[in-house]
Amino acid sequence: MNVRMLSLLAALGLLAPAAGPMARAQAPAKPAAKTLPEDAEAAWKEVTKAMTPPAPPVEWNQNKPTEEQINQFKASMAKAAGAAADKAREFYERFPKHEKAGEAKDGERRMLSAAVNLGDASREAALKAAGGSPQPPEPKLEPVQQKLQEAARAAMSKQAEGLPAVFAEFEKSIRGLQKEFPDRPEIYAALLEVCEGLPPEKALAIAKEVEEAKTEPGIKQQASTFRKKYERLGKPIDLSFTATDGTKVSVADMKGKVVLVDFWATWCGPCVKEIPNVKKAYETLHPKGFEIVGISFDEDKEALLSFIKKKEMPWPQFFDGKGWQNQFAGQFGIQAIPAMWLIDKKGHLREFNAREDLVGKVEKLLAEK
């Protein structure tokens, strides 16, 4: 499932709840050993950092997480929230006269409440001792937000029919809301949510529509990124580099061959899962003119080289150690991996998602004159 869609569903409270408590309730823990710096300002920075929730796993960008994976992620969030509560408590106990001491007490309650709500029953006693869960007023959603929430729920009811059906249903609902709320930025943001779940031609049309709309600059910028990506279809790709083995690689020099550009990383579960399929396609079709170029999002070169050797991946690999900030991630607007692009014998980009039926798609391009 696309991370933006996942984030939207999480915000709307549509993710499945955790599968029961993680531990029995216990008495409040004694004050923990010192973990924060001696300097109060540095200590507060560490507390605020700890209270920032972790992001969903990167591999969820492309693969829908299982219920077990969602529960594991919630368990990790509960653990992180509990640790943040401990740091907040340590801060206000060690620096009781600091101007942020009161905020730290409130943060402890919020973090303990989050941990308990995420299934960590071992924090219940500590939460009670800290004053119980904060009771914020019920948020009052505006009509457009309420209806977007309903649209997301309606879309998720199509899950059994596959993600294309989910995105199509969501877009249909948004179009109806667009007539009712033509000037609301939430509508344009929601349209961008479904872009990557639609066919390229339709996604490009939506990106252009949002980019030209009278809406917030940040939304227009995101639309511009989408547009530039989809406008590359059918055009040559400027991609050249020195590979990890020292060879010079240029896609422009590979005309006459079909080229797979594989954006991946050793730490990306779905990427690693694709390797047997990619190797099979390479072994079968390389003699007929099929090439592969790897674009690694790794940061540890030695680990990458060791992995490539172990998995016997003979094609060239780009590596600059910058992870998501690498040269081609920015140039091509890569926001999720694995991303597998196919380039035809004329050097033109033809496919953004080659994962499904890779062999069939390569054979079709090889057969072109």
Place of tokens 């924060």: 36
Amino acid 18: pLDDT: 37
Mean pLDDT score of the chain? 84
Given this model, what pLDDT does residue 67 score?
Answer: 75
* pLDDT tens digit sequence for 144-189: 888 988 988 888 888 888 777 888 898 999 999 999 998 899 999 8
Boundaries of every domain in the chain? 15-129, 143-230, 240-366
Q: Which residue reads 């029995």 in tokens?
A: 24
Same fold, 143-230 and 240-366: no
- Has residue 93 got a pLDDT over 80? yes
Instruction: Look at residue 138 in the predicted model and tell me its pLDDT.
Output: 58
DSSP tag of 352: S
Q: Return the pLDDT at 346.
A: 93
* pLDDT > 70 in the chain, percent: 86
- Please count the other Cβ atoms lying within 10 Å of the Cβ belonging to residue 315: 19
Q: What CA–CA distance (Å, rounded) separates 185 from 217?
A: 10
Helices (H) and strands (E) in the chain, counts: 14, 7
Domain 240-366: CATH superfamily, name plus number? Glutaredoxin (3.40.30.10)
- Residue 280: its pLDDT value, please? 94
Please write down the long-range contacts of 159-165, taking CB distance under 8 Å and 24 or more positions apart. 163/1, 163/64, 163/197, 164/197, 164/198
Q: Using CA atoms, how far apart are residues 145 and 187, in angstroms rounded to an integer?
A: 9
**CA-to-CA distance for 172 and 10, rounded, in angstroms?**
21
Instruction: Supply the pTM of this predicted model.
Output: 0.57
Residues 363, 367, 350, 315: is their CA dihedral positive or negative? positive
Could you please state the CATH topology (level 3) that the domain comprising 143-230 is classified under: 1.25.40
Confidence at residue 28, expressed as pLDDT on a 0 to 100 scale: 39
Structure tokens at 157: 């009811």
Pairwise CA distance, residues 190 & 216, whole Å: 13
Least confident of 75-79, 83-87, 272-276, 280-284: 75-79
